Amino acid sequence: MAATVIDSVLFGDQFSTPAMRAVFSDANTVQTWLDTEAELARAEAAAGVIPKKAAREIARVAHAGRYDLAALKREMDRTKHPIMPLVRAMAAKCRGGAGEYVHWGATTQDIMDTGTVLQLKAAFALIDAGLKDLEAVLARLARKHRSTPMAGRTHGQQALPITFGYKLAVWLAEVRRHRDRLAECRPRVLVGQFAGAVGTLAALGRKGFRVQTRMMKELRLGTPEIAWHTARDGYAEAAAVLALAAGTCGKIANEVCILQRTEIGELEEPNLEGNVGSSTMPHKRNPATSETIVALGRAAAACVGPALQGLAAEHERFKIGLQAEREFMPRLCGMTDAAIRKTTQVMAGLVVNKAAMRRNLEATGGLLLSEAVMMRLAEAIGRQKAHDAVHAACAEALDKDVPLVQALRKAPAVNKVLSEREIRGLLDPEAYTGLAAAFVDKVLAGGKPARRRRRRSS
């Protein structure tokens, strides 16, 4: 088995995705370093810092396929340094003495930080695309089940009726907020790094700003206001946003797990041909994918702690946080992408059991609608008296295991005001979903109350 599940041949696709593994692969990591070195050289040549011929030669050798990763690894182990082996290898491949201008005025962290940001840029694009797909699936389901009644639950107990579309709309709004957060943090996170040994660009003097600006423009990254070698708030923010997205997926999946329980049976994740629920119990249909998503959400959250600890970086450069980032950021991106993709798969094939939802609405013999009776009764005798009367009737219904309508008919405070027909009408769950459907419409409309269509006069 691999050291991490993300790199495992057997389990890699449960905890990551092929596309995200490609972003953080060794080959692509080296390529981002080479891209950074090449654009640095081009920017320095344009500013007259190094010869243009040297910049062209450096760009020519800036392709990961030209380098032996195993040889780089051996040199990294020997030198205890991540970038110098690559710089030396680049210099050796350059012709006409151009190799002397590789890495001119840069420090190792400039190259590594910018490389990581380039990877994060690609990772953000994958994750946003996944969230967009999830958003579309949730919107479609919310529209379809706008008025499908089900029991709303608080503290694990039945509370009041809602619609399944309402529950979906809550998830949909949350996913949209994560897309907003991802977009809003891009200008703060996707910023390159070129600052030199202590961040002052002393090796380039006044030309430093010109080189830095052009370099970041060509890399299509933001230009730093000042060095962020020890200002790791951008990575901490990115980690938090990614963990939030994975956490929402975990929340959704956990709800599927709960509502798929045999005693509830309202939802079921897709049961594709060939799925095996148990090695010993042939009847089992376990929410295996949803359980994995819950685990991914929890594991993603664990990456936020190291990201926050990285804020306490010392002096002008500090390696400890950088080392931790190289370990948790690829994992976090992989787990978040996997959580989103798997949640989309579950939602796209979700089995919704309307009959079970209706059965569960009726499971308490009307107790689910106690508020409806209380509020109607309160109009006649006041809220507190109404609450006490209905509360006593509910207690009797529970203690004697009788329908609530029976207990209410025996309560003098109730039957003086409400007929049995009126009580039965109040105990209809479909008549007491409040503005659930309207909230679905509002979310589907992008947060604005949906306008009612006017009927055309005949």
The residue from 155, 279, 457, 458 that is catalytic is 155
**Three-state secondary structure call for residue 373:** helix
* Contact criterion met (CB below 8 Å) for 60 and 102: no
Alpha carbon distances (Å) from 63 to 30, 57, 217: 9, 12, 20
Dist CA 287 CA 268 (whole Å)? 7
For the stretch 76-92, what's the b/e string if a residue is b when 16 or more beta carbons lie within 10 angstroms of its beta carbon?
eeeeeebbebbbbbbbe
* Contact criterion met (CB below 8 Å) for 81 and 48: no
Q: What is the DSSP letter of 411?
A: -
**Chain position carrying tokens 């798969």:** 345
Dist CA 304 CA 296 (whole Å)? 13
* Contact criterion met (CB below 8 Å) for 404 and 374: no
Dist CA 72 CA 358 (whole Å)? 64
* Contact criterion met (CB below 8 Å) for 301 and 213: no
Q: Does the annotation count 278 as an active-site position?
A: yes
Helix pair 52-60, 26-46: axis angle to 10 deg = 170
Name the CA dihedral angle for 50, 54, 60, 63, rounded to a multiple of 10 degrees.
-50
Alpha carbon distances (Å) from 453 to 438, 450, 456: 13, 9, 9
Residues 6+ apart with CB under 8 A from 335: 6, 15, 16, 246, 296, 299, 300, 303
The sign of the CA dihedral 402, 404, 405, 410 is positive
Provide Rg for the chain, Cα atoms: 30
Alpha carbon distances (Å) from 417 to 13, 382, 388, 410: 62, 12, 15, 12
The residue from 81, 278, 391, 419 that is catalytic is 278
Active-site positions read 155, 278
